[in-house]
A = this chain, B = another copy of it.
Amino acid sequence: MTDQLLNDRDLRFQLFEILDTEGLLKRPRYAELDLTVLDATLQTAREIAAQYFAPHNQKGDANEPTFDGEKVTLIPETKIAWDAFASAGFLAAHHDFEDGGQQLPEVVLRACMAYFNAANIATLGYSFLSIGAANLVKSFANAELRQRFLPPMLEGRFSGTMAMTEPGQGSALGDLRTSARAAEDGSYRISGSKMFISGGDHELTENIVHLVLARIEGAPAGVKGISLFLVPKYLVNADGSVGARNDVALAGLLHKMGYRNATSTVLNFGEKGGAVGYLVGEANKGLGYMFQMMNEARIGVGLGAASLGYQSYIHALDYARNRPQGRLPGNKNPLAPQVRIVEHADVRRMLLQQKVYAEGSMALCLYASTLVEDSHTAPAAEQRRQAAELLDLLTPVVKSWPSRYALLASEIGIQVLGGSGYTREYLLEQFYRDNRLNPIHEGTEGIQAIDLLARKLGPRGGDGYALFLSRLQASLDEAHTRKDCSSLATALRTAMQVIERVTIEMQIRVSANPDLGLSNATAYLDMFGKLVVGWIWLRQALAASHALTSRAAGSEADFYKGKIHAARYFMDWELAGLQGQARLLSTGNRLCYDMQNDWF
């Protein structure tokens, strides 16, 4: 079994041949960095992932966290991995020097995270949530709170969670019922139950900082009455020392299909009268703040899915290259030697599918990370604005496309190995189980679809869509001038025209009748995602085409030829059904909407 985590060559291709990560070094924020530092950081991530995360991936799955009524017990490797991650500075890597960070560019941090995801996504869960929680504290908490909680979070002494979902409300955040009552000292007393809180309890850190959505007594109903609170597991004294236990209790652990080494918890706040919580930012603006974290987390979920799909691809490819079995159909001689299964065309089909899903997902998520980057640090205000608009449009795709298709890469990985893929003696089935969470958390696929169609493409959406089309058009124009890319451009241009037409029709339908118009939103999201990832593959093919013309030979040339071939596969096979599906949306097919409960 291979211990490779990602294809380093592909990661270099993405970072330095497509995304111009080197160009970031010219920005003032990165003046003190150079390529050597970026390389060393990536290498450190790969090494820590390989040394401290990957070795207990199966063990953590087989020995999930337990709760004895007092404490949660994890396998000890989890704590060692957490400490290694924190010591190497990854919890703070993208933060300012003055906060103890390394001012690492977003895209490089995400590439590092991809190694950890690939090695052990469950153990990484604690860090993933903590990074997001610390970003929220940094962005919205007042100076006093920030001073008290941010340093230990960035050092890894405290971890963090995001506590949104409740048992009775699920995706409908406006219905949350956790309440906050103002106390005399300016803090609040929080009461209520939260569910599916990842990393909600454990003994990895001295303290856990829950960022909790709750409703201040008397606040408006719905999403406009939601505030954000910082609720620590243990109170923190003014001198920063950890004090008494707060009124936050672990009601129980949930037992999951995968992601098992990450605790998923039900937390009860205020069983003894109210947990001490501190308002973050202004009252009733909590959902907006949380959306910052959720938007980051959506890219993180996409990247997690991409990384697991990538691992599945790497493992399946390794197996297919080493496992002899059977002969080609045209060879009827039973005494001829067996071939490796990669020689069977149907196995290559599966591997090619995995490649376009996994590498396409990874490329998409890293591209999105550069939009995050540019929205903050691009030199010109208009560049920053455009990046933010594009990111806003693409976030539901970045979350949902890998969650669907990189998950499919994991599913196909099982099939490549056949019976072996179905056993826990190999990692493939675990990759699938871990990956299966991704279409669910941080907003299900259906919710991403509504976000795209009703918000991002709705009347109050920005110009991200126009920007996307113009960037796509620029790539198409370039591709038309290159012999090995022009057929790709032709296929993708057709898809673009189809989707432009469907988009207008969908927008009209949604504004006329949102319930009916949105009933086909998920099909639209899938279609739109194909156009976006088609573009991502076209960009890769273009870069490969340039490299092949100018210099590549040997295994380098093979790498680039593989990219162009995979792009062709995407355009031919993945876009094949597009026109037929578009017709359903164009004609406003009502079958899902019209289906009656009693007819099931």
Considering only residues 470-500 of chain A, those with a C-beta below 8 Å from chain B are none
Contacts of A27 in B (CB 8 A): none
A175-B326, A418-B440 given; A600·B351 CB < 8 A? yes
CB pair B596–A334 under 8 Å, yes or no, is no
CA–CA, A389 and B343, complex, Å = 33
A515, B326: Cβ atoms under 8 Å? no
Docked-complex contact A569 and B591, CB < 8 angstroms: yes
Name the residue of chain B whose CB is nearest to the CB of A568: B591
- Answer yes or no: A508 CB below 8 A from chain B CBs: no
Determine whether A580 belongs to the interface, using a CB cutoff of 8 Å to chain B.
yes
What CA separation (Å) do A573 and B575 show in the bound complex? Answer: 16
Q: In the docked arrangement, what's the CA distance between A326 and B170, Å? A: 8
* Inter-chain contact B172/A256, CB cutoff 8 Å: no
Contacts of A441 in B (CB 8 A): 419
Instruction: For the complex, give the distance between the alpha carbons of A224 and B329 in Å.
Output: 16
Q: Name A454's closest neighbour in chain B (CB-CB).
A: B329
Residue A37 at the B interface, CB < 8 A?
no
Residues of chain B within 8 A (CB-CB) of A583 are: 576
- Contacts A346-B446, A599-B562; A592 near B519 (Cβ below 8 A): no
| A284 shortest CB reach to chain B, Å | 13
Contact A423 B565 (CB under 8 A): no
Least distance between A375 CB and chain B CB atoms (Å): 28
Q: Are A326 and B429 in contact (CB under 8 A)?
A: no
| A330 touching B514, Cβ below 8 Å | yes
For A516, the chain B residues whose CB sits under 8 A away are 345
A301 CB to nearest B CB, Å: 13
Q: Does A171 sit at the interface, judged by CB under 8 A?
A: yes
A334 partner residues in chain B, CB cutoff 8 A: 174-175, 220-224
| Neighbouring B residues of A593 by C-beta, 8 Å | 345, 348
B residues less than 8 Å from A351 (CB atoms): 595, 600
Residues of B within 8 A of A591 (CB): 352, 565, 568-569, 572-573
The CA of A432 and the CA of B407, in the complex, are separated in Å by: 14
How distant is A572 from chain B, measured CB to nearest CB, in Å?
6
Q: Which residues of B contact A432 (CB under 8 A)?
A: 257, 436
A437 with B422: CB separation less than 8 A? yes
Contacting residues, chain B, for A439 (C-beta < 8 A): 415
In A574-600, which residues have CB < 8 Å from any B CB?
575-581, 583-584, 589, 591-600
- Judge whether A292 is part of the interface by a CB distance below 8 angstroms: no
Which residues of chain B are near A175, meaning CB under 8 Å? 325-326, 334, 338
Residues of B within 8 A of A577 (CB): 576-578, 580-581
Contact B196 A419 (CB under 8 A): yes
Residue A255 lies at the interface, judged by CB distance under 8 Å to chain B: yes
Known: A330-B513, A418-B440. A576 touches B580 (CB 8 A): yes
A-B pairs, 8 with minimum CB distance? A577-B577, A222-B334, A562-B599, A345-B519, A172-B326, A349-B592, A257-B429, A346-B446
A: which residues have CB within 8 A of B? 165, 168-172, 174-175, 195-196, 220-224, 254-258, 264, 317, 321, 323-330, 334-335, 338, 342-349, 351-352, 355, 414-415, 418-419, 421-425, 429, 432-433, 436-437, 439-441, 444-446, 449-450, 454, 513-516, 518-519, 521-522, 555, 558-559, 561-562, 565, 568-569, 572-573, 575-581, 583-584, 589, 591-600
Other than the given A175-B334, A346-B592, 20 more pairs (CB < 8 A) read A165-B419, A172-B326, A172-B327, A224-B334, A254-B425, A256-B423, A257-B432, A264-B423, A329-B518, A345-B515, A347-B446, A352-B595, A355-B600, A415-B444, A418-B440, A418-B444, A565-B599, A572-B589, A576-B584, A577-B578
16 residue pairs from A and B, CB less than 8 Å apart? A172-B325, A222-B334, A317-B600, A329-B454, A329-B514, A329-B515, A342-B600, A346-B446, A346-B521, A414-B440, A433-B433, A555-B598, A558-B596, A562-B596, A562-B600, A572-B591
